Chains A and B, each alone.
Chain A
Amino acid sequence: MKLIINGEERTFGQPPATLASLLDQLCVPVARTAVELNGSVVEKHRFEATALREADRIEIVSFVGGG
């Protein structure tokens, strides 16, 4: 399964079934993280229920230092 994560194409031998399992595989903590799936924000409580499909575009963002 191919996914486009933060602009880079990634291939998964064991495709993550949901957004929650993708974050888990990538070791990204859910706290203070936000996800956009194909251009729409997915609320945290929907991560478990959000299924992923071939060629989905996923943006995973979090906070960094800034003014």
Chain B
Amino acid sequence: MAELKDLVIAGRTFTSRLFVGTGKYPSPDILRRSLEASGTELVTVALRRVSLTGPDPTLDAIDFGRYLVMPNTSGARDADEALRLARLARAASGLDWIKLEVTPDPVYLLPDPAETLRAAEVLIKEGFTVLPYIHADPTLARRLEDIGCAAIMPLGSPIGSARGIKTGEFLRIIIEQASVPVVVDAGLGLPSHAAQAIELGADAVLVNTAIAVAADPVLMAEAFRLAVEAAAKGMRAGPIEQQAQAAASSPLTGFLE
């Protein structure tokens, strides 16, 4: 089992290992209360054209003083679009953290590895703190780490699919090899999926749809918080090794010999 280290990304320490996306909540108030219940310290946002008919109330629900607000490049289909979004996001937020996602495929929203690597190279040169969303590809993860990405965000399964950890064997290799934090992003549908990611040795998880679209998002946010905390605590406690055979937990001697 992998050992759980303190979570530090680009010099910033996080107590919570649950990152939360802010899309698709039924109301700004439910978003605000869900973020609170999740215990998160990092939330993601997207960048879009402003409505000239009135401001988006979603933003008012996010306390920019309380959370590190990391913009994503969602919607980008190639590196150039991602660069454009990242530069605008930095100009808007004044922060250089960016979740880099390049997803040309509209059906599975799988990330394009070549375009992601190309965009990451440029953004790092421009001083961004880059957290790339990638498939669970250990070679790509290593390349991205080598060029200076602050963390790696491999997927468990396609975005919003709620299918859980389908990439476990490859996440394990990424985690084994990475010296930057690994954040399992996308596809987590249940609190147990998040726990499973942490038990694989991931440093954190990012959850959006599973919380936002649940019948009770605030309660689900709390459930994810508890699952992530339980798994992290279990990892700290030093899990036992798996065995092929039984090992009795009651004494086998002393009466029915």
Chain A residues proximal to chain B, CB less than 8 Å = 5-7, 26, 28-29, 32-36, 41-44, 59-67
Partner of A63, one of B71, B206, B209: B71
B46 touches A64 (CB 8 A): yes
Chain B residues within 8 Å of chain A by Cβ, number: 36
Partner of A66, one of B45, B49, B55: B45
Chain B residues proximal to chain A, CB less than 8 Å = 21-25, 31, 44-50, 52, 55-56, 58-59, 64, 69, 71-72, 74, 84, 87-89, 91-93, 159-160, 186, 206, 208-209
B92 touches A34 (CB 8 A): yes
Chain B neighbourhood of A42, CB < 8 A:
91
A32, chain B: closest CB distance, angstroms: 5
B88 touches A32 (CB 8 A): no
Interface secondary structure of A, over-half rule:
strand
B59 touches A67 (CB 8 A): no
B88 touches A63 (CB 8 A): no
A29 touches B92 (CB 8 A): no
Partner of A26, one of B52, B64, B71: B52
Chain A neighbourhood of B56, CB < 8 A:
62-64
A63 (CB) vs chain B CBs: closest residue: B45
A28 touches B50 (CB 8 A): yes
Partner of B92, one of A26, A62, A65: A62
